Structure formats: C-alpha cells, structure tokens
Structure 1
C-alpha cells in the first residue's frame, strides 16, 4: 500500500487561546467544514504546546491558525500580546506554518449561538469559537480562491 496520498491532506487546526483553556477546531480533509474538538488546558504552557504538537502530527495538520483578540478599535492590548507570545512558542513547537487571524467577534458569536455552552466552563465555548474562526477562514478561502 502506498500512503503518499495521505500527505496531500491539508487540514487546518484553529486555536482560540483563553486564560484557562485553548479552544480547538480542525477542518475536514476537503477544507469545507470546521469541527470543534475538546479544548486543551492552557495554564501549563509546555503541556499545552505538547498536546497541540501531537494533534498536528496525529491529524496531519498542514497549517495552524490562532485567533488573535484584537480590540474593536484594532488595538493590540495585553490579551493580544499574550496570544502573540503563545504563537511564538507554538512556532518553535510545530513544523507547520502558524498564523494569526482576527477573532474579535467569534467569541461573542459563539456565546450567542450556544448560550448553554457559555454557562459551562468545560471548554465547549472555546472550541466553538475556534470552529467559527476556522469556518469563516475556510469560507473566505473557497470564495476567494
């Protein structure tokens, strides 16, 4: 069996880093749909980076997109700077491109779409926000390609 074709997969991993948890979503093989995955605990940075790196390998991810919380005025506040530091660490931990995407509206959108998830503290909302971020990116790429 020749497994060369599996390397052609181009799944995208989207991350929505929060203080306690990192929301996770992965695209399907065709780059059509974003699927939320269980959130990763984010307080232990090294453990989180290891978990993300193993996800990249296991899922044959070709690109990682990290939601960057830019304020509505477009400023990079303390939260955005913390995410930028996380992105720098992540770039050292994985062998695929890591880029940021503006996610200033996805967390609010996720809370509106799933008010029950917003009350839970299990990472469901974080991963839903990551999935919304990824879905809008997939839609834009399909439309603009």
Structure 2
C-alpha cells in the first residue's frame, strides 16, 4: 500500500514555529523550529503511553502542551515508509497520534516523509561523538529534528518557486 505524505508549503500557515514529531512504539521524539521556520532543534523525548484503543494519555497531553507553549502554527508528524514509498506497520502509530492531536487542537497537522531519518539521526549523533548507548536517549529527538528540518527546507523551496 502506497502511503502519500503531505507536501511542504501547500496550505502554508505562514511564519511561526513548527513542532516536529517522530512517533515510535516506546518513545516520541519532539523538535521545534525557530519563529522564522528555518532551523529545527531538539526539544524532548516523551514516553509513549497512548495505544490504539486507549484514552489520550500523558504523552498526548504533553504534546498538546508543547504545541501551545511554543505557539506552533503547524505540527509535522513523521510518516514511516520504506524506500519504495510503502507504509510500514508504524504508519498506524503515526496516523493515530496525528489524529489525536488534530482532534484536540486547531493547529494543522501534516504527515511528512520520514524515510531514513532515524539512520541520518544516528549518523549525526555518531559524527558528533555521542556513543550509541548515550544516543538512545536522544535518538528520537534527533529523528524529529531530521523530519522537521526536511519539512522546513521543502517549505522554503516551495515558497521560492511559487
């Protein structure tokens, strides 16, 4: 099944902070952009609590809190796909978190292609001297930064061309 991500810049809300989210089965990495929507930085790793049939847990509450605190104008959730563009089992998790945020917030939620972001994040951490063991606690944040930075770059390219 082909899964299509959203396109950066389409229905753009304008300047303002974006929140990037990397959804895992155990942890959720969160990143944010600057107000000019040019640079993504890590924020925190949230322990995953909410499952498919659970009521919203503290993980959803914390994400909503971060969206509000940062006055975010857009939320970008990573859409896990394989190299052929097919959805993995993790797609359901990402879509579920996006749905729960949409349901409780007026901020637009976009799904962004996250192919190879965890690989790129792990490589970046290694290159900066962070050991694999130490990197486990921040890998999800680093992946969220990769997802969000890719979105921000795509957004800027889209806005330049249109």
TM-score (norm 2): 0.78
Question: For 1:71, what is the secondary structure of its paired residue?
Answer: coil
User: What do residues 50-106 of structure 1 show as CA deviations (whole Å, max 9, x unaligned)?
Assistant: 001111111100110000111122111211122112211121122201110010111
Equivalent positions of 1:77-88 (< 5 A) are 77-88=88-99
Corresponding position: 1:94 with 2:105: yes
**Bigger Cα displacement from structure 2, 42-51 vs 16-25:** 42-51
CA distance in 1, matches of 2:18, 2:123: 24
Q: CA deviation at 1:117?
A: 5.5
Displacement, 1:39? 1.0
Q: How many residues align?
A: 137
Closer/same/farther in 2, CA of residues 39 and 117 from structure 1, 3 Å limit:
farther
Q: Secondary structure at the match of 1:73?
A: coil
Which residue among 54, 58, 62 is the counterpart of 2:73? 62
The within-5 A match list for 1:1-145 is: 10-44=16-50, 46-115=57-126, 116=130, 118-120=132-134, 121-122=136-137, 124-145=138-159
Structure 2 spans left out of the alignment, 5+ residues: 1-13, 51-55
RMSD: 1.6
Structure ranking higher in helix proportion:
1
Tell me the TM-score normalized by structure 1: 0.87
Relative to structure 1, the CA distance from residue 72 to residue 97 in structure 2 (aligned partners, 3 Å threshold; closer, same or farther) is same
1:117–1:125 Cα contact (<8 Å) kept:
no
Which residue is equivalent to 1:3? none
